[in-house]
Structure formats: structure tokens, C-alpha cells
Structure 1
Amino acid sequence: MTKIGYARVSTTGQSLDMQIDALEKAGCERIFEEKESGANDNRPQLANCLDYLRKGDILVVYKLDRLGRSTKKLIELSEELESKGIELLSIRDSIDTTTVVGKAMFKMLAVLSEMERDLIAERTRAGLEAARARGRQGGRPRMDQKKIDAAIALYETQKYTIREITEETGVSKAKLYQALKENKNQKS
């Protein structure tokens, strides 16, 4: 039984180090690494990992949520692994499908994991609705148009660098470029 690891983080700025250390400690002979959102169904390294696995191998992950974010996806994956004779080991969730209890725990934890995400989303929606009912709006506060106009005027003089303009007016570089683009489109 060969142990094959799969490590995933959602963004390129995050580190895989902790997961890789745990997978190596668990005895993985090969580790597939990915920096993709779990919501994304197109994860090339997961596909490569699944293609690499053979009957009798064990897929090892740090946590179940590294494989997928929905119960449906996790159960589909577990059924695919089971049909190929591949077991699953989740280090943090203490799930080992080589045992009957491990298989049952896997399915129960997948359901609980999805329920937790749904509850968080529900609480977030309720909080936003309550804030709107009190007259609060989400997002960044609107930039003062006078500051934007001043930044554009300074830019058009061609005497100042972007950094000098942003420091002087408080208008961000991105906002300045956005305003310049809008200005250009209005003149066209």
C-alpha cells in the first residue's frame, strides 16, 4: 500500500509547508501540490493525483476540505476512490477508510463540514440584512470627487509622478487610473 499525498491551498500567497510536513510525516512517497480554490472543479494537480493512484494505494490529505468544499463532491470522490480500490486517510480529521468506522466517519464529517459552511453563509447574510435595515451599506466608502478631480488635474499637468499625486491627494493609484480611464471614455 503506497501512500500518495495531496496538499492544496486556495491562493498563491498561502503556504503548503504545514500540509507537506504532515504528509511527509505520514509516510507519503509522492505529494501532489496545488494552489487553487476548493470551489474550483478544475484542479489539475488533483486530477493528476487521482490518475496516479492505483488499486491498494492510500490517498492522504491533511484535512478533508483540501479535497472539496461540498458534501456532494467529497462523496463523489469517495465513491470514485472506493470503485478503484483506493483508500483515504485524512490526518487532521482522523479518518481512515481502511476501517468500517473510518468510512462512516468520512461521510458524517463531510455532511457536518457542509452544514458548517452553510451556517456561516446564513449568519453572514443575516448580518448584512440587519446592517442594511439600519441604513449601513457595505463596501468601501465612496472617494471624495473633489480629491479625484484634483488628482486628475495634477496628472494632466505632467509635472508629478503617480506616487506624488497619490500622496498629495490621498487617491489610490488604482482609483486614479480608473478615473483617468472613465475620463478618457467620456471624452471619446
Structure 2
Amino acid sequence: MNKTPAIFLDRDGVINEDGNYVATADDFHFIKGSIEAMQQLKKLGWRLVVVTNQSGIARGLYSEDQFLHLTEWMDWSLADRGVDLEGIYYCPHHPDYGQGEYHQDCDCRKPKPGMFLQASEELNIDLTQSWMIGDKASDLEAAKNAGVEQRILVRSGKPLTQDGEQLATYILDDLAAAAQLIAKQS
């Protein structure tokens, strides 16, 4: 079976407003235009995969079950609007904080490429033809480490850093602008 490309999306700051450890549907607010952008990308035939660090789990700010419940709510909210995600990958670990199994230096926490490599293997994704849309350097570094050549840094989340700007192929305002660029290049 031939591998196909995908668009990898960070969650907080790209899909939803980054409210510092968003853990409930009440705290989850889609960024204006993000749903429509994902709808546009799906209409173009793109596979969408979420890759998100969730150190709030390791820090004890919310449980893994709470995260999974919110993720299910987000997934259904998007599906109801015609956006079916191919996969949602998350890292609950942190190398400096956390209890038990969550306190570890893993290979899935961005900037390491573990989530991308797992998605590539499980979903048969061609990483070299894929895109990453993130709001910080670690998102883009993880994509680069996985072989994703097209990396968009958006201004809708964390403040831009020099490292992030250097890792970016493009710097755009938000997911809506990213979808427009990808549509022009498709």
C-alpha cells in the first residue's frame, strides 16, 4: 500500500486557544476560522493528524482520563462539522515533572519525533510529503526530526521565537492562513 501525505496539527494555539492546560470542554475554545480551515483541507483530500504535548497530565493538573474525555468531545465536535481526524497522538510525559510513569524522558514528547513516527507507521503516512502546523519551535523541530519538510509556524498561540522562525518554512497568522497556502500549493 502506498504511503500518503498528511497535515500534522498541534492542538493548543493552532486548533484551540491556548488557555494554559486546557482540560475541559468549558475551557476549550476553537480559534476563529480553525474549523473552516480544517474543513477546507479535508475537501482537498488531506488527512489530518493531531500531535500534542500534554504535560498537564504529568504535572497532575488534570488526569489522562480527563484529557481523553476532552479529546473525544473535540473529535466529535469536529466530526459533526465534517472534519474527521485520521488520528490524535499525545504525550502525557515530562522529563522534569510528574509522578510515576508520567515522569520520564520519552521519545514522544516534542521536539522528539515519536508521535510523528508512530502516526507514520500506523496510518501509512509519507512524512516527506507531509506538513506540520504548530505554534512553537518544539512543534517544528519534532516535524523536522521526523523528516517533515514543510513546516508552518502560526502566530495564534505562543509568542514567536528565533528558533521557531528558523525552523519554519512559512510563518503565518493562523490555521486559516495555513490552509489557504496549502490549498494554493495543492
Same structural fold, with TM-score higher than 0.5 when normalized by the shorter chain: no
> Which structure: larger Rg?
1
